Amino acid sequence: MTQSKQILSLAGTPAAPPLGYFSWTLGQLARDPLYIMVVIWIFYPYFSNTVVGDPVYGQSLIGYLNSGVGLLLALTVPFLGAIADKNGRRKPWVAGTVVVMSLCACALWWILPGNGGLGISLGFCLLFVLAASFAYSEVFHNAMLPSLTPQDKAGLVSGVAFSLGNLGGLSLMLFVLLAFAMPGTQDWAFLPEQTLWGIDQSAHEHDRIVGPVAGIWLLIFTLPVLLLTPSENASGLSMREAMWQGTQDVLDTIRQLKHYSNVGLYLLARMFFNDGMVGVMVFGGVYASGTFGWDTTTLLIFGLCSSVAAMFGAFIGGILDDWMGSIRTLKMAVGVSIILLILLISIQPDQILYVVPVSTAAVWGSPYFSTIAEIAYFFTNHIFAVFFVTALSASRTLMARISPPERATQFFGLYGLSGSITAFLAPFLVATGTALFASQRAGMAMLVPLMLIGGVMLFWVREEQATVALSSRS
């Protein structure tokens, strides 16, 4: 009787208690603020516009950086993931990548304008290591989910994780805004007269401080994942045996893809639409700062509001997923996101919808988002954030619904691979389009075909659970 009442995880094993799987969500609370502040809103725009000193060349450089990281992941992630599966332990991989990420994040403090401090070349290399470590950490952390979460709570846990990640980003950006970026710039009663810790805004220390702040936050909130989530059982294999068997498993999985054609089609579609949508978020801050000349304070406020919109999107995405089903929710989210991206790149300081001229004069007294074009970009981007996170949540839940429970961990590994194997494509297209046409708008427009291809392919994906192939070697 006890066995029959046991709650099973997505992997078909006994699920963790609520403390176990909800502590897992804190890993995203730990990790996402680093991505939100460094990659999207603060440090990448600072590196592009101030350190490099040329928004167009800076966006191209960041594009090539992410392209190189994506290529590295495509060559290594499947094998590292399979080795971790064979070894049976993922926490050491999570801990190792988090330590590297934290050290790299703290070192961002020494990337100064021009060739000061570490210089552009060393700064580029540091950002490369940080981005790669972030992606590896995400793969190993996500791979823990199938064996922890009850089968009927995958959508809830996934949505909670995304909401917490954006809550963390919101909290840290608000702290940076009030403690470092805004003091001395506005005569508002709630602002301190001087920056915290003597941060010098003229030396861009309010831009550089986001690295150390996010790095320390990352260490603190990863601890519950390492201490409170149930420990995996080690397989007892040596590293050499795990490497050999893991490599064979990767090849074996490739041979089975014909049997899992529906899952394979979904993963192929995800390679395109996910790459395009992530590209919009990665380059959103760089594009906005270059197009409108927004400073760090403006980007922080913009990012704060985007995080609120993303939190709302994660919650709504879970409700829609239960009501409409994962595939319908995902189709809707990707389709609306394509339309919103086309609208976003139609906006220039003196123009909206590509052909409609607008005044560049302020329409209200606020020092932020005061022109018609800025207001239009502000609201369009935040609607995009809602549907972006809805797509992320529905995408992960759909994988849980269509993959065979007996091989949930293996297929979530493929899911992680589908998000990284073409991760170089969107940055490469943005970088190439920006450099070729000397236009940030042209670079961002290169993401539309990626999302369109993936969105169309979703219409051939069926929301039905796959069965295990009779033989893995047939």
Separation of alpha carbons 416 and 90, rounded Å: 14
Q: What is the DSSP letter of 357?
A: E
- Report angle CA 70, 71, 75 to the nearest 5 degrees: 115
Q: Where are the domains of the chain?
A: 18-460
Give backbone dihedrals phi and psi of 353, rounded to 5 degrees, phi first: 55, 30
From first to last of the 474 residues of the chain, give the pLDDT tens digit: 344 467 877 666 787 888 888 899 999 999 999 988 888 778 988 888 888 888 778 878 887 887 788 788 777 776 776 666 666 677 888 999 999 999 999 999 999 987 678 888 899 999 999 999 998 888 788 778 777 878 777 777 877 888 888 889 889 988 988 888 888 777 777 778 888 888 888 888 889 999 999 999 999 999 999 999 887 665 566 666 666 665 666 666 667 767 778 888 999 999 899 888 888 877 777 788 888 888 877 877 887 888 888 888 887 777 787 778 889 999 999 999 999 999 998 988 888 888 888 888 888 878 788 899 999 999 998 899 899 888 988 888 788 778 776 555 566 666 766 776 666 677 788 888 888 888 888 888 899 999 999 999 999 999 887 765 554 444
Can you give the three-state secondary structure of the chain, one letter per residue? CCCCCCCEECCCCECCCHHHHHHHHHHHHHHHHHHHHHHHHCHHHHHHHHHCCCHHHHHHHHHHHHHHHHHHHHHHHHHHHHHHHHHCCCHHHHHHHHHHHHHHHHHHHHECCCCCECHHHHHHHHHHHHHHHHHHHHHHHHCCHHHHCEHHHHHHHHHHHHHHHHHHHHHHHHHHHHHHHCCCCCCCCCCCCCCHHHCCHHHCHHHHCHHHHHHHHHHHHHHHHHHHCCCCCCCCCCHHHHHHHHHHHHHHHHHHCCCCHHHHHHHHHHHHHHHHHHHHHHHHHHHHHHHHCCCHHHHHHHHHHHHHHHHHHHHHHHHHHHHHCHHHHHHHHHHHHHHHHHHHCCCECCEECCCEECCCCCCCCCCCCCCHHHHHHHHHHHHHHHHHHHHHHHHHHHHHHHCCHHHHHHHHHHHHHHCCCCCCHHHHHHHHHHHHHCCHHHHHHCHHHHHHHHHHHHHHCCCCCCCCCCCCCC
Burial letters 395-415, b for 16+ CB under 10 A, else e: bbbbbbbbbbbebbbbbbbbb
Separation of alpha carbons 451 and 337, rounded Å: 8
Separation of alpha carbons 144 and 25, rounded Å: 11
CB 393 within 8 A of CB 318: yes
Looking at the domain 18-460, which fold is it?
A: Growth Hormone; Chain: A; (1.20.1250)
Instruction: Report CA-CA distances (Å) from 96 to 136, 141, 222, 393.
Output: 10, 12, 11, 26
Six token digits for residue 355: 């052909």
**Amino acid identity at 163:** S
- Report angle CA 130, 393, 69 to the nearest 5 degrees: 25
Separation of alpha carbons 288 and 31, rounded Å: 24
Output the pLDDT for position 335: 95
- If one counts every other C-beta atom within 10 angstroms of the C-beta of residue 367, the result is 10
Output the pLDDT for position 407: 58
The pTM of this model reads: 0.77
